[in-house]
Amino acid sequence: MERASDEKAALLGGMKDPEAVASPLSPTKAALPSASGGKPLIFGLGVTTLVILYYAFCSSTMLVINKVAIHQLPCPIFLLCIQLLTSAVIVWAGNHLGIVQADAVEWAKLRKFIWVVAGFLGTIFANIKVLQNANVETFITFRSSTPLVLSLCDYIFLGRALPTARSWASLVLLLAGSAGYVLVDSSFKVHAYYWLMLWYAFFTFDTVYVKHMCDTVKMTNWSRVYYTNAIALVPLLFALPLTGEHHKLATVAWTPGLLGPVILSCLMGVCMSHSAYLLRDTVSATLFTIVGILCKIITVVINVLIWDKHATPTGIAFLLVCVLAGTFYEQSPKRTKEPAPGLGR
């Protein structure tokens, strides 16, 4: 992974990735010596912590901007299409201008990225169907169980050691905190479990396979962004007429109030793709998932504190337990032997 590592080093001050991290929110083991001497990078924070903060900022900001954009333009598939197109075009133009470095399209890499896109689009589709048949809180609870499964996938497929007792305890506590919030302050609501199982399968495959690609396919981070967005755009363009959104688009008044959030969401989509691949390359599949869960739980906490006046102190306490559990997770280091075969190269 020399080229991707070089890109990350240039982006984050000439530093290399750690193989083990104490916690997603603690720089204790994440801080690395800089190129100029053994000091942390910025304000005592190491590479991993900075990448996590970068991803968390993009994830939470993208969530808010997308809500506003979809409210102004109620055509989610069309919005996703122009976000993918914007990301692909910006990387292509940036590469030709020498601003970013992206590899030329190669069939061998393209063939492997088709499976990345299949997992990406399958996860999005299943996610939509789950939210149509279950409330958001129930979905977060089920998502909070995925690190338990991914810890085993890290061990079986990606060459990581099994979690320590402390890490297993933090994963169980994360799940328990999410379940406690649903039982106290919300309602457990699922109408179609098969959509949930489909989402679980797609999400697990996507998380593990993308991490495998980051570990085994030599590409710059911007190349991954370009491949994923450009390839995913193709099937969505064919699916767009089937959604009926073109009828809504014909009646849309393209005012500055609509264009502003849409353009901003497209630009943030570039940052979201870049930060996601940067984090996937930096940490294990399990830790990547935990960071994503914590971002969503913290968003729920903020929403509860600001807008939901009926939230109970017990419910808020359960959500804070989830955040606390995430900070105690220790990323498993790489094993000395090669990862077990099963994903292929």
Q: pLDDT, tens digit, for every residue of 193-233?
A: 788 899 999 999 999 999 999 999 999 999 999 999 999 99
341: pLDDT confidence band, cut at 50, 70 and 90? low
The per-residue pLDDT for 336 is 75
The per-residue pLDDT for 146 is 93
* DSSP string computed for 297-345: HHHHHHHHHHT-TT--HHHHHHHHHHHHHHHT--PPPBPSSPPPSSS--
The per-residue pLDDT for 86 is 98
Q: Is the dihedral of CA 272, 277, 282, 285 positive or negative?
A: positive
Q: Are 175 and 304 in contact (CB under 8 A)?
A: no
In the predicted model, is pLDDT for residue 139 greater than 90? no
The packing angle between helices 2-11 and 256-282, to 10°, is 120
Q: Is 190 helix (H, G, I), strand (E, B) or coil?
A: strand
Q: Are 185 and 315 in contact (CB under 8 A)?
A: yes
151: pLDDT confidence band, cut at 50, 70 and 90? very high
Q: Which amino acid is at 296?
A: K
Q: Exposed, middle or buried: residue 73 (CB in 10 Å: 0-12, 13-18, 19+)?
A: buried
Distance CA 65, CA 62 (A): 5
344 occurs within a structural domain: no
The per-residue pLDDT for 61 is 87
In the predicted model, is pLDDT for residue 259 greater than 80? yes
341 occurs within a structural domain: no
The per-residue pLDDT for 17 is 38
The per-residue pLDDT for 291 is 94
Q: Specify which residues 42 forms β-bridges with.
A: 45
Q: Per the structure, how many domains does the chain have?
A: 1
Distance CA 297, CA 140 (A): 8
pLDDT in tens, 231-256: 999 999 999 999 899 899 999 999 99
260 occurs within a structural domain: yes
- State which residues form the domain around 196: 2-327
Q: Specify which residues 334 forms β-bridges with.
A: 160
Q: Specify which residues 134 forms β-bridges with.
A: 190
Q: Are 301 and 316 in contact (CB under 8 A)?
A: yes
297: pLDDT confidence band, cut at 50, 70 and 90? confident
Distance CA 213, CA 222 (A): 14
The per-residue pLDDT for 183 is 81
Distance CA 114, CA 254 (A): 34
Tokens of 29: 């083991």
In the predicted model, is pLDDT for residue 26 greater than 60? no
The per-residue pLDDT for 6 is 54
Q: Specify which residues 103 forms β-bridges with.
A: none
More confident residue, 13 or 268: 268
Tokens of 119: 């997992």
335 occurs within a structural domain: no
Percentage of the chain modeled with pLDDT above 90: 54
In the predicted model, is pLDDT for residue 326 greater than 50? yes
In the predicted model, is pLDDT for residue 122 greater than 90? yes
In the numeric block, the tokens 């497209």 are attached to 266
Give the mean model confidence (pLDDT) for residues 86-93: 97
The per-residue pLDDT for 136 is 73
The per-residue pLDDT for 132 is 78
The per-residue pLDDT for 343 is 58
The per-residue pLDDT for 28 is 39
Distance CA 125, CA 132 (A): 11
268 occurs within a structural domain: yes
339 occurs within a structural domain: no
In the numeric block, the tokens 């129930």 are attached to 138
Distance CA 117, CA 124 (A): 10
337 occurs within a structural domain: no
The packing angle between helices 136-143 and 285-306, to 10°, is 150
Q: Are 21 and 167 in contact (CB under 8 A)?
A: no
124 occurs within a structural domain: yes
